[in-house]
Structures are given as C-alpha cells and as structure tokens.
Amino acid sequence: MKISLLTGALLLSTAVLAQAQQAGKPEDTEVYEPVPKVVTASPNLATPPSDALVLFDGKDLSQWVMADDRNAPAKWKVSGGMFTVDKTTGNIETKKAFTNYQLHLEWRIPANISGTGQARGNSGVFLASLGKGDLGYELQIVDSYQNKTYVNGMAGSIYKQRVPLANPARKPGEWQSYDVVWMAPTFKADGSVQTPARVTVFFNGVLVQNNVELAGPTRYIGPPSYEGQKAGPAPIKLQAHGDKSEPDSFRNIWVREL
Ligand code: MG
C-alpha cells in the first residue's frame, strides 16, 4: 500500500513536470519590445490627448479649407468657442489628409431647429473626403431625437449603408459627440479591393458602429461600390447640407493618426 502510494505520487509529479516543460517558461510569452509610446491622457474626450492633432480648439478654422476650392480658407463662422455651418459657402474639409485615425468631434443641432426627417439639422462627417460635393464616406449628422427618418440615414448611421446599433441622440440644443476609429480601404495593384474600409463609432459614448465593413463610399442613389476608388490619405470633410433648417455647430475636434 505504502509503495503503491509513493509510486503514484512519483508518477503524478513526473506528469506535472512533463507538462510544465512542454509549456515552457512564463518568460517565453512575455513581450518587451517595441515599447508603446507614452501619451499623456486627458481628463475627458473633449480635451485632446498629448499626441493628438487639434483640428479645432475654439479659436479659428486654420486647419480647414473649402472643400470645393482647397486654396480658399474655410468660411464658416467661428464664435463663442464653436463654429457654425454656413450653408451659403459649401462643405469644408481638413487641410491635412489622413489614412487610419481616431477622431473626436462634438456637434450641436440648434435648440430652435425646424424641419422634419432629413431636413432637420442635416450635416455630416465625411470620414474620407473624395473631392468636391458630398463625395466620401458619410457619418450622418441629423436631428434623431424623436425625429423620424429612414434608419440608415439617422444620426450614427453610415449614410444609406449601416444602421446604428442604438439611438443615443440628445435633444436639439445639447452638445453631442462622435468618437470614431477609421480604417481606410486598401487596394491591389489592379485596383480591386484588398481590404474594405472599416469603421467604429461611439455616439455620445454609446457604441453605434462596431468595426463594420463598408461596401464603398456613400451614394445618395444606388448601392455603394469601390469602383474607381483610389488608395491613400484623404481629408475629413464636414457637410453644408442644402436643407432649409437652422445650421449646426461644432467644437472640440481632434484626431490621432494610427
Ligand atoms: Mg448629411
């Protein structure tokens, strides 16, 4: 009895040892390089982290140009730490172009907003501007607080392509936020898609687009496709929508290239 217990214990410890040897040492799976760069975090997302490029700090539109004439400075009106869409001048976009990035942006539908459906505080963030007009990938801005429209055209949607997972819209007059991770599409040498664009969006801190794949840039009519698209960095564009409702405002915009 004594002997068989001892034998058993020996066999067991041998088995444990063999297993440990097979799995290696804990250190084998510890990674030390490359060391991630140090970024000084901010107390909240309205304040950019230390490595962000500030696209609007409340003072001026020096980081922006007119989308239809990139030589012209952005003409939207800056006042009180925010800027407001000027529908008579057209879309504005960033001077700089970006490929993959993290973006924070705050927007506000005016408290006195009028109109219905899509014609109620409509603007938008083109995550990659593809030129003049509304060419690009539009993250929709529109009043979605008790304002009915098609669900793939509400706030938090990738316009006419991806319905948001939830509707965390605040009332007109209240500031709202988008936090976006944009991964640009890549293309093969023959122009076909290698990896489609992917986007993640938090709307007022609520996840509304979860790393979704896009089928191409936004189209007002017809299904999206990548036909004729090119790779490379693109500006971020804000929409001066042609509806008759009161114009939206923006503040606290920053971007981190990935
Ligand atoms: Mg829009």
pLDDT of 125 reads: 98
Question: Separation of 240 CA from ligand 1 center, angstroms?
Answer: 8
Which pLDDT value is given to residue 251?
98
Note residues around ion ligand 1 (Cβ under 5 angstroms).
122, 124, 239
Over residues 208-247, the pLDDT tens digits come to 999 999 999 999 999 999 998 888 899 999 999 999 999 9
Separation of CA 41 from chain center: 19
- Over residues 159-181, the pLDDT tens digits come to 999 999 999 999 999 999 999 99
- Cα of 72 vs centre of ligand 1, distance in Å, is 22
pLDDT of residue 20: 55
Helix (H, G, I), strand (E, B) or coil at 11: helix
pLDDT the model gives residue 1? 46
3-state secondary structure of 53: strand
Q: Give Cβ neighbours of residue 119 (< 8 Å, ≥ 6 apart).
A: 243, 244, 245
Q: What does pTM read for this prediction?
A: 0.90
d(CA 138, CA 85): 16
Domain boundaries, the chain: 37-257
Question: What pLDDT is stored for residue 76 in this prediction?
Answer: 98
- Give me ligand 1 centre to Cα 212, in Å: 19
CA of 140 to the centre of ligand 1 (A): 5
Question: Separation of 250 CA from ligand 1 center, angstroms?
Answer: 14
CATH number assigned to the domain covering 37-257: 2.60.120.560
pLDDT, tens only, 84-141 = 999 999 999 999 999 999 999 999 999 999 999 999 999 999 999 998 989 999 999 9
Tens of pLDDT, residue by residue over 38-63, are 999 999 999 999 999 999 999 999 99
> Each residue of 16-38: pLDDT tens digit?
555 655 679 999 999 999 999 99
